[in-house]
């Protein structure tokens, strides 16, 4: 253990007054696992645009009441500087320590004279986005680590617009955190005292009802059969989605909902799926087992904070999983069909996705004529585009926003991905196709045959700790200094470095809609011959560097062959440090 780490460890030993954390620190030091100790103390947990996220435990690079309180002091300083009478909406999902972190957040805000509206129980992240706007709060905070494994928790901050805070705000909050001694400078007030003084107010159920009312506005009536024959298996993966998802499905007429019993109740240990990510088949194992018994029309799985949803659909005797890109493309095509049938002008509609999501929306935009905008990774950028539309009183132009990682939004009630509205629309879409004797798997195959096989893959390289962070930085530096001329035998036709001012990719831009430039980001895009592509970026929430792979061909076999070659090249060449 180097001297710097040893000094930080000693400071924490001397200053800790939370018994459980003190015991955990003593156990950690007794284990003599120098690498783990170093990782817990080698840096301070950074407040990025997604807030904080990290492993639970003692240390400056861990999620605990001290790092949460220090971050909240930075947020309080920012709010008191920019708002005359600031207030904050606070919620949590089912993660371990969530209740403690909510109370710590509200207590620090109260000590700084800032009122909090606190949810009395767990709620989905999109409810926080909605409630922040509905209650006219200055900011929102939700305690969640999304789909990370059980040892993680996080702290996501939102602006008054319901989007995750902008880069400039995050930088100002981080600067304030840097000036705040984690043990001496954080103001505190007892949570019970804050309640008594009216500096904490419980959020009423009327807010949840208003959220569900807003979602129901984008429902498509007439899709769900009236005979109650449409059946759904649903798993909240021991997270926060149960209440809102089941309520909205019942509102639209889905009465037969079988909830996976082992994953029904909130449990931050996620005992049946160590990685509660609906992108991963293992997380859906219990749901698939139940589906094989009760034979539903659809399996839905929402992640712990219920902002993302994965699905499986019956096809020729087995349940097929659809990817986030596939569901996004199905929703776009289906909504365009319905809007056109209703006599709406599709050319005025706007679909917003990200630079790392499927390229198929380009083909759909060419076919249907809607305006397509691509933003950086992170749903706050999609939310920002919705704001541009609503500021011009053009919110009705917004058709759908989606990310490849199973995140979708329809409607303007929130500024974050929303598994509740997505679950509703996916059920209605599945029922609509079922009336035409088509399942969603077949509907997706039809899209492939019509527009081409646009396939996607991701190669991840995990690099943890201080050495890992340096490795990732070295890989990005090498790729900029020595750009490849070909990848997997495909010529690089163009390189887009998003660390420079890059224009927003747009198609069918409507007259009057401005050309836009994307914010700076540490992302490299390699456009290859044949419409294929590779994008490399460090993860913003995990110790990983990722290569997103895009292949397209007239046949599935050829597109898969290109995918395999791109994956091999990424593993062996692109994501390798010198």
Annotated active-site positions, please? Answer: 146
CA dist., res. 169 & res. 159, Å (int): 9
Residue 330 contacts by C-beta under 8 Å, 6 or more apart in sequence? 322, 429, 440, 443, 444, 447
Q: Identify whether the C-beta of residue 391 lies closer than 8 Å to the C-beta of residue 523.
A: no
Q: Identify whether the C-beta of residue 420 lies closer than 8 Å to the C-beta of residue 248.
A: yes
CA atoms within 13 A on the CB side of 246: 14
Indicate if the alpha-carbon torsion angle 292, 294, 298, 300 is positive or negative.
negative
Nearest to residue 372, comparing CAs of 507, 274, 484? Answer: 507
Q: Identify whether the C-beta of residue 399 lies closer than 8 Å to the C-beta of residue 336.
A: yes
Q: Identify whether the C-beta of residue 551 lies closer than 8 Å to the C-beta of residue 559.
A: yes
Residue with tokens 């024959």: 229
CA dist., res. 390 & res. 232, Å (int): 34
Indicate if the alpha-carbon torsion angle 35, 178, 463, 276 is positive or negative.
positive
- What DSSP element (H or E) covers 553? strand 544-553
Q: How many CB atoms lie within 10 A of CB 348?
A: 15
Give 115's strand partners. Answer: 87
Q: How many CB atoms lie within 10 A of CB 12?
A: 22
Nearest to residue 20, comparing CAs of 54, 64, 62, 61? Answer: 64
Burial-class residue 221 by CB neighbours within 10 Å (0-12, 13-18, 19+): exposed
Q: What is the DSSP letter of 247?
A: H
Buried b / exposed e along 112-142 (16+ C-beta atoms within 10 A): bebbbbbbeebbbbbbbbbbbbbbebbbbbb
C-alpha distance from residue 509 to each of 374, 496, 512 (Å): 12, 21, 8
Instruction: Locate 99 and state its tokens.
Output: 């209740």
C-alpha distance from residue 522 to each of 10, 455, 487, 518 (Å): 36, 24, 20, 12
Q: What are phi and psi of 508, to 5 degrees?
A: 55, 40
> Helix 419-434 to helix 324-341 angle, to the nearest 10 degrees?
70
Instruction: Locate 316 and state its tokens.
Output: 């020729």
**Strands, sheet with 52-55, edge to edge from the N-terminal-most edge strand:** 52-55, 152-158, 139-143, 87-92, 115-118, 200-202
Residue with tokens 């059920």: 427
């Amino acid at each position: 253990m180097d001297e710097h780490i040893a000094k930080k460890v000693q400071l924490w030993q001397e200053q800790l007054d939370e018994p459980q954390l003190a015991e955990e620190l003593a156990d950690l030091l007794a284990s003599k696992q120098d690498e783990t100790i170093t990782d817990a103390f080698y840096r301070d947990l950074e407040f990025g645009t997604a807030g904080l996220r990290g492993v639970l435990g003692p240390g400056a690079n861990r999620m605990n009441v001290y790092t949460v309180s220090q971050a909240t002091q930075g947020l309080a300083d920012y709010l008191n500087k920019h708002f005359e009478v600031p207030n904050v909406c606070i919620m949590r999902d089912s993660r371990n320590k969530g209740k403690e972190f909510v109370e710590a957040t509200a207590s620090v805000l109260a000590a700084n004279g800032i009122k909090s509206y606190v949810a009395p129980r767990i709620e989905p992240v999109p409810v926080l986005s909605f409630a922040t706007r509905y209650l006219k709060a200055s900011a929102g905070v939700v305690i969640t680590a999304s789909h990370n494994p059980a040892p993680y928790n996080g702290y996501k901050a939102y602006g008054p617009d319901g989007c995750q805070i902008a880069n400039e705000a995050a930088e100002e909050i981080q600067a304030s955190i840097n000036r705040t001694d984690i043990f001496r400078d954080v103001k505190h007030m007892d949570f019970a005292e804050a309640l008594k003084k009216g500096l904490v107010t419980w959020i009423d159920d009327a807010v949840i009802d208003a959220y569900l009312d807003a979602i129901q506005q984008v429902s498509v009536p007439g899709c769900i059969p009236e005979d109650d024959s449409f059946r759904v298996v649903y798993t909240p993966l021991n997270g926060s989605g149960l209440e809102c998802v089941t309520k909205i499905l019942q509102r639209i007429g889905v009465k037969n909902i079988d909830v996976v019993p082992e994953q029904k109740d909130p449990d931050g240990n996620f005992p049946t799926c160590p990685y509660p990510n609906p992108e991963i088949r293992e997380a859906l194992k219990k749901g698939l087992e139940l589906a094989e018994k009760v034979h539903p029309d659809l399996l839905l799985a929402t992640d712990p904070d219920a902002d993302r949803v994965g699905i499986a659909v019956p096809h020729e005797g087995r349940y097929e999983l659809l990817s986030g890109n596939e569901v996004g493309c199905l929703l776009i095509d289906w909504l365009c069909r319905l809007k056109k049938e209703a006599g709406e002008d599709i050319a005025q509609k706007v679909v917003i996705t990200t630079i790392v999501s499927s390229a198929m929306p380009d083909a759909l935009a060419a076919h249907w004529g809607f305006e397509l905008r691509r933003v950086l990774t992170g749903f706050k950028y999609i939310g920002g585009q919705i704001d541009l539309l609503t500021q011009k009183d053009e919110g009705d132009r917004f058709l759908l926003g989606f990310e490849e990682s199973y995140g979708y939004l329809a409607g303007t009630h929130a500024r974050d991905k929303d598994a509740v509205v997505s679950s509703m629309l996916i059920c209605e879409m599945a029922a609509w196709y079922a009336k035409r004797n088509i399942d969603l798997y077949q509907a997706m195959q039809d899209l492939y045959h019509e527009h081409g096989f646009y396939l996607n893959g991701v190669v991840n390289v995990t690099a943890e700790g201080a050495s890992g962070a340096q490795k990732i930085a070295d890989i990005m530096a090498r790729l900029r200094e020595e750009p490849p001329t070909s990848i997997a035998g495909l010529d690089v036709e163009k390189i887009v470095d998003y660390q420079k001012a890059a224009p927003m990719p747009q198609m069918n831009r409507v007259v009057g809609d401005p050309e836009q430039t994307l914010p700076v980001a540490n992302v490299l895009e390699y456009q290859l011959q044949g419409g294929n592509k590779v994008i490399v970026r460090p993860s913003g929430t995990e110790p990983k560097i990722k290569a997103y792979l895009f292949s397209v061909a007239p046949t599935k076999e050829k597109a898969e062959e290109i995918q395999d070659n791109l994956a091999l090249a990424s593993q062996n060449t692109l994501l390798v440090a010198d």
